[in-house]
Structure 1
Amino acid sequence: MAIGNILGYATGSYSGWYKVFPFTLTPACNISCANLKSAFFLDIIFILITTYISIMAANEVPLGSSGAANAEAEESGGSAEEAFLWELFGTFRYFSKPIWVILSVTALTWIAWFPFLLFDTDWMGREIYGGEPNGGANYDTGVRMGALGLLLNSVVLGITSLLMERLCRKRGPGFVWGVANILMAICFVAMLVVTYVANTIGYLGKDLPPTRIVIYALTIFTILGFPLAITYSVPYALISTHIQSLGLGQGLSMGVLNLAIVLPQ
């Protein structure tokens, strides 16, 4: 996932894709539009390549073969039943207090993460570079710089993922998650401080931001890769551990935690 994010954000931070795909630049589509269309073409190319690799690598059993018939018979003969939505909500009464705490913290954490993930590059373009969408080069430059910050964020995310098991074994997953949430809150407050400083200096709408302001913003984006990596993995491990002791199954733990993530939206 981190590698895919790095490649994607690297694509967004490069402003010369219209030269690679010159046919995307038309009288009705300026350079920014052409770069965006070029990114879509790259996306299609990678999807085709990965789809081909997946199809060639998967060893599927044809439907008319005896192996498929045996697998279908075993599946129909099993006693397991799929859980419907009301059965999923019905299991809430078995949850202990630690499970509710994990779900609550997860929901609150994602309330903080969703605005950042949606408007991070827009914040860079508007608040740091002082631009407006379709209002000049400053906004486009800020968005590309925001994509560079997200690229650095993904690099830290990938490194943290590799060290995740060691961190959790040494300090405990709950402690690591708590530190990550505190660091996330500090970074978001730092974004407010950087925004205030940028408005105080008075360059917005007149010139490009000072180098130190850009470095501050990129540093915040980079540091946020650590708590984001923790948020992607540790809550699932914690909820699985507590639900397993109740004998409710790992699939249920994933579904319940996903509800805590999507409900804040």
Structure 2
Amino acid sequence: MAVPELEKRDPTLHKQQIQHRGPRHGPGPSPRSNRVKLRTLLRVSSVACGIQFGWALQLSLLTPYVQELGIPHAWASIIWLCGPLSGLLVQPLVGHVSDRCTSRFGRRRPFIIAGAASIVVAVLIIGHSADIGWILGDHGQKKKTRAVVVFVIGFWLLDVANNVTQGPCRALLADLTGKEHRRTRVANAYFSLFMAVGNVLGFATGSFSMWYKIFPFTRTSACDINCANLKAAFMIDIVFILATTYLSLSASSEQSFSSSHSSHRFSEEMSEDSPEHEAFLWELLGTFRSLPGSVWMILLVTVLTWIGWFPFFLFDTDWMGREIYGGKPNEGSNYGTGVRMGSLGLMLNSVILGITSVFMEKLCRKLGAGFIWGLSNILMSLGFLAMLIITACKNNLTIDGHLPPDGVVAAALIVFAFLGIPLAITYSVPYALVATRVEGLGLGQGLSMGVLNLAIVIPQVIVSIGAGPWDQLFGGGNSPAFAVASISSFAGGIVAIIAIPRTRVEKSRIHH
């Protein structure tokens, strides 16, 4: 855009610059020689393993645990409200600031390190919430009010820390891959693969019931066996997050805003010569007016997708403990057994997620990212419908106080594993689609990830507020939320298939 003005001021200078650059395909380093190596992208993506390890523990154990502390099932989802609220505010802010960070350590690294350190503090608070509540006066009370307060503080800090970390991680991958759509998809597939590995390890850790014997110091007068297992699991999480953060951040050098500002690679993204290239946080809503229709379709499908996923993430292990095993928190052993079996199902889910991630780029290249995303949402809808059918079959058996038949448990585990296929798509394709479509909008990759995150957290706020009371209205189960999830994900699948077009690169590959 600046070339005509430069030519008017000094045509000779412009010609000299063209001669200095040399012919387009002449001698000199080619763009391919400046590519970040795939093994480097793999190492950078490894931080997702540590982050997702903690998420897996959070998703599988914390909804049941907060009910054991005395929070009713109808209000358990309110505890999760901070996650989407912090994502609504924190991730766009962190993305915007990291886009313009001038630290000598790079644009993204300071935020990733700060987020990882905050995760460590948060999981220590969560794991020791019962002990802290005991010290503050929760002696022999069925509802451990002080422990709940400490738990909520730690839980909300964990959500904020996760949002501080995840956005810059995704943006760092987008920085390293530049405008190469295929490598962007590969990088996001690597990220999804490591998320799967973290999930497998996290859910396996959550399903193991003997950590209190391996780490006997975790069991105290305030902390029973379930609490001790959770505490030990989060201590293991600290080791994972520290190790993977170091492995990721030591993989490659990163440019700060000041050094990349003069680079051609970031000149379009960071130019301050044009007002449309300034996207301040307080003008974030105004940036939506400049989004093209293709990006709006991505955001719409993201909203419908996460209205589907969030009830599952909230109540997956609780569903296994209540509907399948017929238990209740703090009443007998059925509920705890079901929660651990649910963690096993989520581990199988993550194995399938990892396998799917390996084939992600080839599937998107052959069939188109929009079609793959839409198909995955339809599969996701069928999975939630299967959970409703399994619940109905289990209720017809009317086995009170006994473990469910092996066939019912096997069917539930198969559904959990099956849902790993659409989950792999959800963790990868939307981010790649947004990263490759915002290049000309003047948004940095950090802020673009924040914009996408708004489409994730807004439906989460709706589900967090409505899921518990809605379920209680229909008898205290999880089926109503899963019914809404099935309908929403199916609608998102149809919209993705119809309204998200192939890029020019995908079309050219089909013609060839």
CA RMSD of aligned residues (A): 2.7
Q: Is this contact kept in 2: 1:127–1:195, CA < 8 A? A: yes
Residues 179-227 of structure 1: CA deviation (Å, up to 9, x unaligned)? 1000000100111111111111011x32001001011110111011110
SS at match of 2:456: helix
Pairing of 1:98-113 with structure 2 (within 5 A) = 98-113=294-309
1:120 equivalent in alignment to 2:324 = no
**Deviation of the 1:150 alpha carbon:** 0.6
Equivalent residue, structure 1, for 2:370: 174
5 Å matches for 1:36-185?
36-50=230-244, 57=250, 74=259, 80=272, 83-185=279-381
Pairing 1:13–2:207 present: yes
Q: Do the aligned residues in 2 keep the contact of 1:177 with 1:230 (CA within 8 Å)? A: yes
For this pair of structures, how many residues does the alignment match?
Answer: 254
Task: Tell me the TM-score normalised to structure 2 length.
Answer: 0.46
Secondary structure at the counterpart of residue 408 of structure 2: helix
Task: Identify the residue that residue 429 of structure 2 maps to in structure 1.
Answer: 234
Q: Quick check: 1:248 aligned with 2:439?
A: no
Distance 2:251 2:421 in 1: 34
Match of 2:217? Answer: 23
The sequence identity of aligned pairs, in percent, is 62
Matched letter for residue 184 of structure 1? M
Deviation at 1:169, TM superposition (A): 1.1
After superposition, the Cα gap between the structure-2 partners of 1:85 and 1:249, relative to the gap in structure 1 and judged at 3 Å, is: closer
Post-superposition offset of 1:111: 0.9
Partner SS state of residue 263, structure 1: helix
Give the CA deviation at 1:255: 2.5
Q: Deviations over 1:129-175 (max 9, x none)?
A: 01111111111110111000110111111111110001011111111
SS at match of 1:26: coil
Matching of residue 202 in structure 1 with residue 398 in structure 2 = yes
Distance 1:223 1:235 in 2: 20
The aligned counterpart of 1:32 is 226
State the Cα distance separating 1:127 from its structure 2 match. Answer: 0.6
Alpha-carbon distance, 1:38 to partner: 1.5
Aligned counterpart, 2:153:
none
What is the distance in 1 between the residues matched to 2:436 and 2:418?
Answer: 28
Asked if structure 2 preserves the Cα contact closer than 8 Å seen for 1:240 and 1:250, the reply is no
1:225 maps to which of 411, 420, 426: 420
The CA deviation string for residues 37-83 of structure 1, in whole angstroms up to 9 with x for no partner, is 2112222333454466678x47999xxxxxx9xx7865799854762
Unaligned runs of 5+ in 1: 62-67
C-alpha separation between the residues in 1 aligned to 2:365 and 2:247?
36
Distance 1:45 1:238, change over 3 A: closer
Mapped to 1, the partners of 2:231 and 2:354 lie a distance apart of 28
Q: What is the match of residue 64 of structure 1? A: none
Q: Compared with structure 1, are the counterparts of its residues 51 and 232 closer, same or farther at alpha carbon in structure 2 (3 Å cutoff)? A: closer
With normalisation by structure 1, the TM-score equals 0.85
Q: Report the secondary structure of 1:264's partner residue.
A: helix
Aligned to 2:453: 258
Cα pair distance change 1:241/1:46, threshold 3 Å = closer
Displacement of 1:248: 3.4
Moved more, 255-264 or 90-99: 90-99
Query: Within 2, Cα distance between the matches of 1:104 and 1:258?
Result: 12
Name stretches of at least 5 consecutive residues in structure 2 with no aligned partner: 1-194, 263-269, 461-512
